[in-house]
């Protein structure tokens, strides 16, 4: 039904041209593009954080989610950068560092300059996991193994130029070792399966998914690729605590953005309302129940974060 | 036996109502060309936000079960498989429908679905811990060999000639390489922005199967109005039951293959039907009848694709690893209520887990009852004038291709593949091997690359791909499958030569 509504909204958009009046924005349902498949973590969280959009104190109009999955998010973001209407009725979810890393690597139509951030809703750090029966119990063990067996420690992650890959690169750089990063097809779930089934010795995965897998007794989490410990895993030390100089560049930030060229009044209205909408109590409850860490940031904070990521990633990916 | 305690919960008013709605709605969605089970389940997700955990899952589970079975309707009547799972059903099912036996084909397919489906769910109930180990046993090297096993059946699938079958398969394998490669991020054959995400399998299915049909129908409809009206024979349900009982071999092979292959994360659902069809054909004394409207073909394919439903949920429910896109959507449905699959689900929420599984068991039976009820009615579709049917199918095809990911690009892909297939069919090529190539290409490729990366870091390629019991068993089956095809081909040639010389 939501898809139909959004379809109708798009048809209206095409008919009415760009004549939307900024002062009564929004006067019809809004569409939000998610560049990953239905059921994935980004899709799941996007649906929760936008579920109160129709409330009077939020936007007063519902937000419909449209999935355009493919090629690690490139399909959806390419579409958003080149074909989406910039009238404020087409939003998209962003994943940092994915889209910035992909734009640095090249071959896509977008970069941090083609999008305007609105607000951030979540931050899912990468974590280092091993199977529950693994002999490694800390990052020290893993690094020691990698030093003794250069290039032999196999560890999985969800593809190249995504958060997991960035974390893997940071780990190799900070520990000064060579390891074998195995990118999987099929996202974090496939990477996690490789760890649990013993196909690889370790893995980088999302904190939210790893938290669930640890609860189920399938994996051990050895370290968090973030600046601080996470509320879901208060006992797991960060990489820095374990002597590895790694910052939060790989943390998967998720939030809302619009295409460049969207009227300033619309951006102002959205960036004032959307963080409030994310802060809704019902949203927080659902997110916590699903094991998804929230991290609300305003437009200014996100702009800073994007710029910082751009600089870090350019340095890290140089020469790859 | 814990599950028996929760049977009552399935019949709680709201739950049972949702089960009915999910089943009937799923049948209708599944029967609509272009609506895949994954999409049906994804469409329902927003509704489950407002339901309790159990109720939401019942709705999703019922929709999953019945869309897979409902896909047989369009596969049989229109030769348009709703999802990859139904491809094998078109091979004999549609030929039966063309002969006016649509009602019989539909009845057999729903009965076979129910038997396979119930068996699959029973496996899920009794053998979950064991099956979980089995699901994990398949690493990259094994999946690679499994995909190669699939490739070996390409040649013999629905083609007059093995060479043309293999050629179609190669076209499919090539089409599969288009787009960004997920592992390395390389761009391959992207000449147009619609191809960035590769060829979407659902859009390709619609194009390859529906468009040639539509073009043929238009061509015929123009020449002779209403002359070719097919008489739809009535078929008693009891006869269908009796026939099913007499086809034990097809039933058993279909169910067994479906359950085993369905378990394997990422592969199962798409090829279960095709592999079961191929195996049944090889073991059948009437193998030459396959493809000409033989009921064994329909039974094997449909029992396999529903037997896969239960086992395909094993990795999700025990290890929290969604093995298929549909399972990923179901995972979302669980998480939204704060329930984590795995020990948490079975220990702390046994009511949710078992009521959900039980509802799938009852859902299979409901699906069968409603399916049989509409079978006679639906078979009348064959009487709709061809020109009208062509217009309806064309409309549904465009709608279906667009709605997969709200993208016009998919519609273009569908249309161009369809026109290409129309001409290829004229030269004796067929769509099924092409689609199989399209499905298997990425599985073989991704697992080979991944496996070789792991192999290079550990024991080396030879050891990794060629040793270990499971690898050796799979390689043996691959060799046996090739040998069988070669022997059969030679026998046939010899028979033909003798006939010619006699």
Is ipTM strictly over 0.85?
no
Rounded distance between C-alpha atoms, residue B18 and residue A258, angstroms: 38
Contacts of B213 (CB under 8 A, 6+ apart): B78, B79, B80, B390, B393
**E strand map for A143-249:** 154-157, 180-183, 202-206, 219-224
Cβ distance A216 to B137 less than 8 Å, yes or no, reads no
| Alpha-carbon gap, residue B450 to B448, rounded angstroms | 5
| Whether A131 and A115 share a structural domain | no
pLDDT score, position A15: 46
Asked whether the beta carbons of residue A161 and residue B196 sit closer than 8 angstroms, the reply is no
User: Closest Cα partner for B469 from B145, B119, B46?
Assistant: B145
More confident residue, A5 or A109: A109
The count of domains in chain B is 1
Chain A touched by B321 (CB under 8 Å)? yes
- Provide the domain limits for residue A157: 126-242
Rounded CA separation B324/B305 (Å): 14
Q: Which of residues 28-47 of A touch B (CB under 8 A)?
A: 37-40, 43-44, 47
Alpha carbon of A300: minimum distance to chain B alpha carbons (Å): 30
Distance to chain A for B185, nearest Cα, Å: 7
Same domain, A184 and A265: no
Same domain, A132 and A95: no
Cβ contact A154–B38 (<8 Å): no
- Residue A218 and residue B456: Cβ atoms within 8 Å? no
Statement to judge: residues A16 and A80 lie in one domain: yes
B126: containing domain? 2-501
Per-residue pLDDT of chain B (502 residues; tens, 9 = 90+): 678 888 888 888 889 999 999 999 888 888 877 677 777 887 787 787 778 888 988 998 898 888 888 888 888 988 888 778 888 999 899 889 888 888 899 999 999 999 999 999 999 998 887 888 887 888 899 989 988 888 888 877 766 677 888 888 899 999 999 988 777 777 888 888 778 778 888 889 889 999 998 898 888 766 655 545 566 777 888 888 888 888 999 999 999 999 988 888 777 667 888 889 988 988 888 888 888 889 999 999 999 989 988 888 888 888 778 777 788 888 888 887 778 887 778 888 888 889 999 999 999 999 999 999 888 777 777 777 778 888 888 998 898 888 877 788 899 999 999 999 999 998 888 888 899 899 898 889 889 999 999 998 888 888 899 988 999 999 998 898 888 878 877 887 788 787 777 6
- Residue of A290, A291, A320 to mutate, interface with B, max B Cβ within 10 Å: A290
Do residue A256 and residue A119 come from a single domain? yes
DSSP string of B345-362, one letter each residue: HHHH-HHHHHHHHHHHHH
First to last CA, chain B: 65
pLDDT digits (tens, 9 = 90+) for A68-94: 888 888 889 999 999 899 999 999 999
Q: How far apart are the C-alpha atoms of A282 and A51, rounded to whole Å? A: 9
Q: Are A261 and A231 contained in the same domain?
A: no
pLDDT band at A121 (very low <50, low <70, confident <90, very high): very high
CA distance linking residue A198 with residue A196, whole number of Å: 5
Q: How far apart are CA B260 and CA B256, in angstroms?
A: 6
**A247 in a structural domain:** no
**Phi then psi for B37, rounded to 5 degrees?**
-55, -40
Mean pLDDT for A47-64 is 89
State which of A213, A242, A271 marks the end of a domain. Answer: A242
* Any A CB within 8 A of B263 CB: no
Give the one of B182, B342, B344 whose C-beta lies nearest to A72's C-beta. B182
B479 touches chain A (CB under 8 A): no
Cβ-contact A317, A105 below 8 angstroms: yes
A299–chain B nearest CA distance, Å? 27
The tokens of A179 are what?
């390891």
- What SS3 state is found at A149? coil
pLDDT of residue A5: 54
How many angstroms away from the CA of B405 is the closest CA of chain A? 5
Domain count, chain A: 2
A295 touches chain B (CB under 8 A): no
Candidates B392, B349, B403; CA nearest to B39 is: B403
Nearest-CA distance B158 → chain A (Å): 30
Residue A313 lies in a domain: yes
Q: Answer yes or no: is pLDDT of A313 > 70.
A: yes
Whether residue A99 sits in one domain with residue A11: yes
Could you report the per-residue pLDDT of A159-217, keeping only the tens digit for each? 888 899 999 999 999 999 999 999 988 778 889 989 999 999 999 999 988 988 888 88
- Which residues numbered 379-418 in B keep a CB inside 8 Å of some CB on A? 403, 405-407
Same domain, residue pair A11 and A160: no
Question: Which A residues 173-192 touch B at CB under 8 Å?
Answer: 180, 182-186, 189-190, 192
Angle between helices B248-262 and B102-137 (to 10 degrees): 40
**A179 located within any domain:** yes
């Amino acid at each position: 039904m939501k898809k139909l509504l959004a379809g109708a909204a798009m048809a209206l958009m095409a008919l009415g041209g760009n004549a939307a009046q900024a002062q009564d924005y929004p006067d019809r349902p809004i569409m939000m593009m998610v560049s990953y498949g239905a059921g994935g973590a980004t899709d799941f969280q996007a649906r929760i954080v936008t579920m109160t959009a129709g409330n009077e104190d939020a936007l007063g109009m519902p937000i419909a989610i449209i999935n355009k999955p493919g090629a690690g998010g490139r399909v959806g973001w390419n579409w958003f950068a080149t074909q989406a209407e910039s009238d404020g009725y087409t939003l998209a979810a962003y994943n940092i560092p994915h889209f910035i890393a992909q734009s640095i690597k090249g071959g896509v139509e977008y970069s941090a300059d083609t999008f305007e951030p609105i607000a951030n809703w979540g931050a899912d750090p990468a974590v280092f996991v091993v199977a529950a029966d693994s002999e490694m119990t800390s990052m020290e063990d893993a690094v020691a193994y990698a030093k003794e067996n250069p290039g032999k420690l196999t560890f999985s992650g969800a593809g190249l130029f995504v958060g997991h890959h960035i974390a893997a690169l940071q780990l190799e750089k900070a520990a000064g070792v060579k390891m074998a990063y195995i990118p999987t097809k099929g996202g974090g779930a496939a990477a996690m399966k490789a760890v649990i089934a013993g196909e690889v010795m370790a893995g980088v995965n999302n904190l939210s998914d790893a938290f669930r897998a640890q609860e189920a007794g399938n994996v051990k989490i050895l370290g968090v690729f973030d600046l601080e410990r996470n509320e879901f895993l208060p006992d797991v030390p960060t990489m820095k605590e374990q002597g590895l100089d790694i910052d939060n560049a790989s943390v998967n930030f998720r939030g809302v953005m619009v295409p460049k060229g969207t009227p300033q009044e619309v951006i102002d209205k959205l960036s004032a309302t959307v963080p409030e909408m994310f802060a809704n109590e019902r949203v927080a409850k659902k997110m916590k129940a699903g094991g998804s860490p929230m991290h609300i940031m305003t437009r200014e904070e996100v702009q800073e974060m994007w710029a910082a990521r751009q600089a870090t990633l350019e340095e890290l990916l140089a020469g790859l | 036996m814990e599950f028996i305690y929760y049977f009552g919960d399935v019949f709680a008013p709201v739950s049972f109502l949702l089960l009915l709605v999910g089943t009937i709605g799923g049948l209708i969605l599944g029967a609509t060309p272009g609506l895949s089970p994954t999409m049906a389940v994804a469409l329902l997700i927003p509704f489950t936000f407002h339901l309790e955990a159990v109720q939401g899952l019942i709705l999703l589970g019922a929709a999953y079960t019945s869309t897979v079975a409902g896909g047989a309707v369009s596969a049989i009547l229109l030769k348009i498989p709703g999802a990859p799972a139904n491809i094998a059903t078109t091979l004999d099912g549609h030929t039966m429908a063309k002969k006016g036996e649509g009602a019989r084909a539909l009845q057999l397919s729903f009965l076979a679905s129910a038997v396979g489906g119930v068996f699959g769910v029973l496996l899920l109930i009794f053998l979950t811990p064991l099956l979980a180990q089995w699901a994990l046993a398949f690493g990259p090297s094994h999946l690679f060999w499994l995909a190669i096993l699939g490739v070996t059946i390409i040649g013999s699938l629905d083609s007059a000639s093995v060479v043309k079958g293999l050629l179609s398969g190669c076209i499919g394998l090539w089409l599969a390489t288009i787009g960004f490669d997920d592992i390395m991020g390389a761009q391959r054959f992207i000449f147009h922005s619609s191809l960035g995400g590769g060829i979407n399998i659902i859009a390709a299915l619609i194009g390859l199967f529906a468009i040639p049909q539509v073009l043929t129908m238009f061509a015929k409809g123009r020449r002779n109005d209403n002359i070719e009206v097919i008489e739809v024979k009535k078929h008693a349900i009891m006869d269908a039951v009796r026939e099913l009982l007499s086809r034990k071999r097809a039933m058993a092979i279909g169910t067994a293959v479906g359950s085993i292959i369905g378990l394997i994360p990422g592969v199962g659902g798409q090829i279960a039907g095709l592999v079961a069809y191929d195996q049944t054909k090889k073991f059948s004394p009437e193998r030459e009848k396959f493809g000409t409207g033989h009921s064994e073909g329909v039974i094997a394919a449909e029992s396999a694709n529903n037997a896969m439903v239960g086992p395909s949920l094993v990795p999700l429910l025990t290890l929290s690893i969604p093995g298929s896109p549909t399972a990923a959507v179901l995972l979302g449905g669980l998480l939204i209520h704060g329930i984590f699959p795995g020990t948490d689900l079975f220990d702390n929420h046994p009511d949710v887990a078992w009521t959900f599984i039980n509802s799938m068991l009852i859902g299979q039976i409901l699906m069968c009852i409603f399916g049989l009820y509409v079978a006679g009615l639906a078979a009348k579709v064959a009487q709709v004038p061809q020109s009208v049917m062509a217009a309806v199918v064309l409309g549904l095809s465009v709608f279906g291709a667009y709605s997969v990911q709200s993208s016009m690009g998919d519609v273009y892909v569908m249309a161009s593949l369809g026109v290409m297939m129309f001409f290829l069919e004229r030269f004796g090529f067929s769509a099924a091997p092409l689609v199989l190539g399209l499905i298997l290409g990425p599985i073989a490729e991704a697992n080979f690359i991944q496996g070789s990366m792991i192999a290079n870091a550990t024991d080396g390629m030879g050891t990794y791909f060629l040793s270990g019991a499971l690898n050796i068993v799979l390689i043996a089956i691959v060799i046996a499958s090739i040998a069988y095809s070669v022997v059969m081909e030679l026998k046939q040639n010899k028979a033909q030569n003798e006939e010619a010389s006699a």
